[in-house]
Amino acid sequence: MVESFRTSLINKDKPTYLGLFFSDKPQDIGWQFVSEDVRLQDIRKAKPDAIKARKIPANSFIALIDGAVASPKPREEKFFNTKIETDGDVALVSFDYSLHDDGLKTNWGKEMWQLIRTEQGWKIFSVIYSVRDERSPAAE
């Protein structure tokens, strides 16, 4: 599943990507980022009302694939240290990630997916992730 997610972004394959999710409606899928503190402080210089975890309707799983499809440049998300916990019907997949646009690492952090096993197989029900970038302290 993680590999299908990764390759669907690279290949700009929206049907495969959307098939990984429980629903094709953004309001049905949890999708939330949290900014790292130093990054957030820098953002607040331009946007004083910025908060760590703001729900942004335009930030969704569909926006990610649409951005990849629309861009003439390659986009890739790389995954490291993948861990899976499951009872066979629900699962939590967690990993370190880095997002690359045209070969350049733009942000990174931790990501967690909640999965449910349906009659059509495993589906992503929610995604949460931290965001670090060049403004963030070096990884420890």
Q: Which two tokens stand for residue 124?
A: 């992503």
Q: Which CATH number fits domain 2-131: 1.20.140.10, 3.10.450.50, 3.20.20.70, 3.40.50.1000?
A: 3.10.450.50
Longest dimension (CA), the chain: 48
Residues 124-137, mean pLDDT to the nearest whole number: 94
Give residue 140's pLDDT: 44
pLDDT tens figures, 20-63: 999 999 999 999 999 999 999 999 999 999 999 988 888 999 99
Which position has the token pair 């880095």? 98
Q: Which residues contact 13 (CB under 8 A, 6 or more apart)?
A: 7
| pTM of structure | 0.91
CA atoms within 13 A of residue 90's CA, in its CB half-sphere: 3
pLDDT tens figures, 66-91: 999 999 999 999 999 999 999 999 99
Name the residue ranges covered by the structural domains of the chain: 2-131
